[in-house]
Amino acid sequence: MPAILHTEGESNTSSARQAWLKKSIGPKSAPLLRRDADAFLHQSLSTPCVSTIAKAEGIWVEDMDGRRFMDFHGNSVHHIGWGHPKLIAAIKQQLDDLPFAPRRFTNDPAVELAEKLADLAPGNLGKTLFTTGGSDANEVALKIARAATGRFKTVSFWDAFHGAGFGAASVGGEATFRSHIAGPLLAGAEHVAPFACYRCPYNHAGPDVCGLACAKMVDFVLEREGDVAAVIAEPMRAVPYVPPPGFWKAVREACTARGALLIMDEIPTGLGKTGRMFAFEHDEVVPDIVTLGKSLGGGVLPIAACVARRELDVCGDFAIGHYTHEKNPVTARAGLATLEIIEEEGLVARAAELGAYAKAQLEDRLGEVPIVGDVRGRGLMFGVEIVTDRADKTPGNDLAEQIYYRCLEAGLSFKISQGCVLTLSPPLTIARADLDRALDIVVNATKAALR
């Protein structure tokens, strides 16, 4: 289980962080935090940690001193909550039945999960390869695109995140994962500016006024380069940023016209989080390849998937993954149980309903608060942008950090994205009463920052 408190852009030595550690870390947690800092390589957003976890159940995490937090972060893996009993039972049974399979020996859970993903995915997305993490799944997708097109270039977006491997970091655009890598990254990784409706002068003006200049830039680069293998992108950025109407249709048309594949990275947004099984379904497009991960293992085991159009099964004469746990029956069983829970409990529709409710509540209660720039998102992935100037939306990083720690003090954990966006991503299983309690915490902490 990862550390529960992450703030993007926050220094490991920030004054607010140090104040939290001094005030809120109990006597049982402190020794483990010191041991952790001594044992692990230090890196942004991870080590040193700022708390411990002793228990995790449903929407709750609890530290070693008994302090409880509603987890509205969960590294985007906790769609079905922590420790769902059906998932745990399925994993335990699979451990008894078949704990491992060498990749050249197939097994029923692995095949069944691949078949299930083909049934869920729209269009002709029907051929799958499993990996142990989303970064690897995206790199498999890039290999398929090169093999299928005979090209090597990619187009992706600044500020995007596609994983921490060299290939995934090359097509990603977050400075945190690029700035200290010495030497060249993956050749041919071209980047364009992301859609940024919340800072665009044509924001909310409608597609006729908007003109989709951001989408046209993708087409411009595809035309000028002439030999791009794929566009890889997040259908909705998890910061969260929702694309303008028509954006993905325009990009899809550009890819088709220029002979480039469209790869959708659904690792944080897929499997119901946005109120659709796949986030790209909001925009009525079908990619050539989709990657899944994080929540696919139910918040217990690491598994990711690259799902491609059947026509893209062109790599049979060489290895594009060759992972030791490529057909692991236990991780596959976790994926199957997770998908069953999502379907049986109606969690996709629940995310749509509760997400619309939460967004409406925040807009109503924070709409006139001068430090709130936007309330945005889809389903149960939504955010509140904190600013110092509402007119020009100057990022309010310090204010966001104050709000963050007030919320932690009140028992709500989440992350801050882009330095100033309170990013809230609860499990799809959350009860309405718990969601109301969390929204109260955010509203009260935001208004308190004005004083």
* Residues 319 and 189 both lie in one domain: yes
Residue 343 confidence (pLDDT): 98
Give the per-residue pLDDT at 43.
87
Most confident range (mean pLDDT) of 173-177, 182-186, 235-239 is: 235-239
- At a CB cut-off of 8 Å and minimum separation 6, what does 309 contact? 123, 124, 125, 126, 127, 288, 289
Q: 443 and 423: one domain? A: yes
Residues 99 and 217 in one domain: yes
Residue 449 has pLDDT above 70, yes or no: yes
Do the domain assignments include residue 311? yes
pLDDT for the residue numbered 210: 74
For residue 226, being part of any structural domain is answered with: yes
Q: If you average pLDDT over residues 396-420, what whole number do you get?
A: 94
According to the model, what pLDDT value does residue 44 have? 81
Question: Does the residue 225 lie in any domain?
Answer: yes
CATH number at 66 reads: 3.90.1150.10
Long-range interactions of 184-188: CB distance < 8 A, separation 24+: 186/154, 187/152, 188/152, 188/153, 188/154
Higher pLDDT, 176 or 281: 281
How many structural domains is the chain composed of?
2
β partners of residue 68: 62
| Structural domain contains residue 265 | yes
Task: Report the percentage of the chain scoring pLDDT > 90.
Answer: 80
Helices (H), 299-431: 329-344, 347-366, 397-409
- Is 46 inside any structural domain? yes
pLDDT, tens digit, 9 for 90 and up, residues 12-44: 557 777 787 777 789 999 999 999 999 999 988
Co-location of 268 and 334 in the same domain: yes
The arithmetic mean of pLDDT across residues 230-258, rounded, is 95
Q: Is pLDDT above 90 for 183?
A: no
Q: Are residues 191 and 322 in the same domain?
A: yes
pLDDT digits (tens, 9 = 90+) for 306-363: 999 999 999 999 999 989 999 999 999 999 999 999 999 999 999 999 999 999 999 9
- Which whole number is the average pLDDT over 400-405? 94
The predicted structure's pLDDT at residue 1: 33
pLDDT for 30 equals 92
CATH (domain of 316) = 3.40.640.10
pLDDT of residue 390: 86
Residue 273 sits in the same domain as residue 225: yes
Same-domain status, 358 and 289: no
What does the mean pLDDT of the chain come to? 92
pLDDT, residue 199, reads: 67
- pLDDT attached to residue 370: 95
Asked whether residue 196 falls in the same domain as residue 305, the answer is: yes
| The pLDDT value given to residue 56 | 97
pLDDT of residue 312: 98
Average pLDDT for 432-447: 98
Q: Is the pLDDT of residue 230 over 80?
A: yes
Residues 361 and 321 in one domain: no
- Domain boundary pick from 344, 376, 400: 344
* 240/293 same-domain check: yes
Q: Judge if 111 and 73 occupy the same domain.
A: no
- Which domain-ending residue is among 311, 344, 377? 344
DSSP states of 346-377: THHHHHHHHHHHHHHHHHHHHTT-TTEEEEEE
Determine the distance from the C-alpha atom of residue 396 to the mean position of all C-alpha atoms in its chain, rounded to a whole number: 23
Is-contact 144 320, C-beta < 8 A? Answer: yes
Q: Is the dihedral of CA 1, 236, 214, 256 positive or negative?
A: positive
pLDDT in tens, 46-78: 888 878 999 999 999 999 999 999 999 999 999
Write down which residue in 321, 344, 367 finishes a domain.
Answer: 344
Mean pLDDT, residues 80-103 taken together: 97
In a domain, 4, yes or no: no
pLDDT digits (tens, 9 = 90+) for 259-315: 999 999 999 999 999 999 999 999 999 999 999 999 999 999 999 999 999 999 999
CA separation, residue 377 to residues 118, 347, 357, 388 (Å) = 27, 17, 12, 21
**pLDDT (tens digit per residue) in 375-396:** 999 999 999 999 998 888 899 9
Could you list the residue range(s) of the whole structural domain that residue 381 is in?
20-80+347-448
Decide if 274 is inside a domain: yes
When pLDDT is averaged across residues 230-247 and rounded to a whole number, the result is 94
Domain-located, residue 381: yes
Within this chain, do residues 295 and 363 fall inside the same structural domain, yes or no?
Answer: no
